[in-house]
């Protein structure tokens, strides 16, 4: 996923990139909020931690969905 003509992140799965919370695409919004500034090493490391947190969130959501037999819960 390119963030500009020279920089990109590798290995971000499309479903993680598309993941939304509150109607916002999390990874896109984080980058958009920093548009026009140079990302530091700490910024890049933080972004990678967000990717890991989203992947784990998605895994847990899938696990929870598998445990609920029907919705609404009866």
Percent composition of the chain: helix, strand, coil (DSSP 3-state, to 5): 55, 10, 40
Residue 35 near residue 43, CB atoms below 8 Å: no
The per-residue pLDDT for range 13-34, each reduced to its tens digit, is 999 999 999 999 999 999 999 9
pTM over 0.95: no
The per-residue pLDDT for range 35-73, each reduced to its tens digit, is 888 889 999 999 999 999 999 999 999 999 888 888 777
**Which one, of 7, 1, 5, lies nearest residue 26 by Cα?**
1
Q: Does an H or E element contain 28, and which?
A: helix 26-32
């Amino acid at each position: 996923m390119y963030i500009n003509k020279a920089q990109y992140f590798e290995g971000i799965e499309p479903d993680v990139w598309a993941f939304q919370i509150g109607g916002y695409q999390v990874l896109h919004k984080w980058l958009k909020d920093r548009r026009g500034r140079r990302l530091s090493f700490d910024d890049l490391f933080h972004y990678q931690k967000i990717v890991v947190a989203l992947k784990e969130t998605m895994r847990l959501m899938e696990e929870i969905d598998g445990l609920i037999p029907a919705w609404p819960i009866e």
